[in-house]
Amino acid sequence: MSHSGQPTPLESRASSALRGTVRVPGDKSISHRALILGALAVGETRISGLLEGEDVLNTAKAMQALGAKVERTRTGIWSVHGVGVGGFAAPDNPLDFGNSGTGCRLAMGAVAGCPIAATFDGDASLRSRPMRRILDPLELMGAKVSSSADGGRLPMTLQGARDPLPVVYRTPVASAQIKSAVLLAGLSAPGVTTVIEQEASRDHTELMMAHFGATIVSENEGPHGRKISLTGQPELHGANVVVPADPSSAAFPIVAALIVPGSDVVLTDVMTNPLRTGLFTTLREMGASIEESDVRGDTGEPMARFRVCGSRLRGVTVPPERAPSMIDEYLVLAVAAAYAEGVTTMRGLQELRVKESDRLEATADMLRVNGVKVEIVGDDMIVEGKGHVAGSGLVATHMDHRIAMSALVMGLAADSPVKIDDTTFIATSFPDFIPMMRELGADFS
Ligand code: S3P
């Protein structure tokens, strides 16, 4: 889904204490994976709590175009009838992944293991993002790029391998997208496909492949890494998937509750997979009051109820090895850092430069135009927290949902309103963000 309409600006103002109980939408990473693995399984997969944001809906359409039957039942359950490992059919039209790097890159992995050609495309943001990191291992496995825009970017036509080869692949950066693309292609390869990562990235693909019946083993590798070995050509069977609430979306009301004095907000069913919770660890180190209760798990993905209260925060140093477990949360952490007392140093943020926007620059600009002192030194971001934010800036969102939501959160306690140039892209991951935040007491107008 590519956007062509007029931008919709919005202003966020200092609000009185936020209060209430909310459930943010389903986890985006798990939602993409449930659709893709459902499409590669035999039999029916039933998914409850799927994120119905544009990114995931584009993946659903792509799975349908590749031959799976994907339907939303009247009760909101998504049903997928898959084609079996290696069984995708060539799509008639280009697959449009809109704004979503995850949907596109994981689908490339799945297509690479099938003897078909498919064209991948996306919006201007996705067309600017690097795809070489995915293509390098997929080409080793036998896939070929038959056409692409300059620099191996979208639009691109990928020819999947007739006889995919298993590989042992060391990922050059900690990226669950690279790892997942290799493992998805590896489903069709005979023998064992192995991915070795220096820093462990989110493991939803591994957990879900096991849930669908694959044999997949994950071992520690070095101090922070993992070695994942998948036995190829499994008989994947359709499964039930319950999608917990997305911790990366929960991050926005959580930081909002922390910075607006007197707030008391409860979030239910928040996923607490330890490879996703770096933000919560960091916020607690900063002095945040975040209580967890009702801890439970489903298909290996734990979840809990969070109670968050307005807190005085202090600056901290966030170590680089924590980055993979909070890679999408630095934007809103930078907002928390601006409201903290003292300096927050976030180290090792190079991957932020290749997300939906250059998030390192975009986050620094978001803070600067609102009177916060911030520096980028190499791959580190240093925010000088003064306990309050002047505001009155206009934030450029660069087709990036997380910049938009972070800036709106920042305005909720600022001395003067914070304005964003466009809310449109919030719909990619958190379609109800604005009404849900208003329900808690946010003053957006
Ligand atoms: C994701 C992985 C991360 C993250 C993205 C979702 C995933 O990207 O930024 O929003 O679902 O695998 P990288 O793995 O490339 O860091």
Compute the distance between CA of residue 205 and CA of residue 357 in angstroms, rounded to an integer: 25
| 67 backbone dihedrals φ, ψ, rounded to 5° | 115, -10
In this structure, which residue's CA is closest to atom 5 in ligand 1?
A: 102
Lining residues, ligand 1, CB within 6 Å: 29, 102, 175-177, 180, 201-202, 327-328, 351
Distance 19 CA to ligand 1 centre (A): 31
Q: Could you tell me which of 188, 207, 199 has the C-alpha nearest to residue 227?
A: 199
Ligand 1 atom at minimal distance to the Cα of residue 180:
12
312 contact partners, CB below 8 Å, separation of at least 6? 287, 341, 387
pLDDT in tens, the chain (445 residues): 557 689 999 999 999 999 999 999 999 999 999 999 999 999 999 999 999 999 999 999 999 999 999 999 999 999 999 999 999 999 999 999 999 999 999 999 999 999 999 999 999 999 999 999 999 999 999 999 999 998 889 999 999 999 999 999 999 999 999 999 999 999 999 999 999 999 999 999 999 999 999 999 999 999 999 999 999 999 999 999 999 999 999 999 999 999 999 999 999 999 999 999 999 999 999 999 999 999 998 668 999 999 999 999 999 999 999 999 999 999 999 999 999 999 999 999 999 999 999 999 999 999 999 999 999 999 999 999 999 999 999 999 999 999 999 999 999 999 999 999 999 999 999 999 999 999 999 999 9
Best probe residue, ligand 1, of 129, 199, 202, 332 (max atoms within 8 Å of C-beta): 202
Distance 102 CA to ligand 1 centre (A): 6
User: What kind of architecture, by CATH, is found in domain 10-26+244-444?
Assistant: Alpha-beta prism (3.65)
Residue pair 400/366 in contact by the 8 Å Cβ criterion: no
Residue with tokens 């790097």: 101
Compute the distance between CA of residue 233 and CA of residue 374 in angstroms, rounded to an integer: 50
Catalytic residues, by residue number, are 328
In this structure, which residue's CA is closest to atom 11 in ligand 1?
A: 29
Task: Kindly indicate whether the domain formed by 28-242 is annotated with CATH number 3.65.10.10.
Answer: yes
pTM higher than 0.95, yes or no?
A: yes
Q: Could you tell me which of 10, 24, 28 has the C-alpha nearest to residue 308?
A: 24
Cis peptide before 324 (omega within 30 of 0): no
Best probe residue, ligand 1, of 36, 175, 279 (max atoms within 8 Å of C-beta): 175
Distance 111 CA to ligand 1 centre (A): 19
Compute the distance between CA of residue 141 and CA of residue 68 in angstroms, rounded to an integer: 24
Number of helices (H), then strands (E), in the chain: 13, 24
Compute the distance between CA of residue 286 and CA of residue 344 in angstroms, rounded to an integer: 9
Domains 10-26+244-444 and 28-242 share a fold: yes
Report how far apart the first and last C-alpha atoms of the chain are (Å, whole number): 26
pLDDT reported for residue 269: 97
Residue pair 263/309 in contact by the 8 Å Cβ criterion: yes
Ligand 1 atom at minimal distance to the Cα of residue 28:
11
- Residue extents of the structural domains in the chain: 10-26+244-444, 28-242
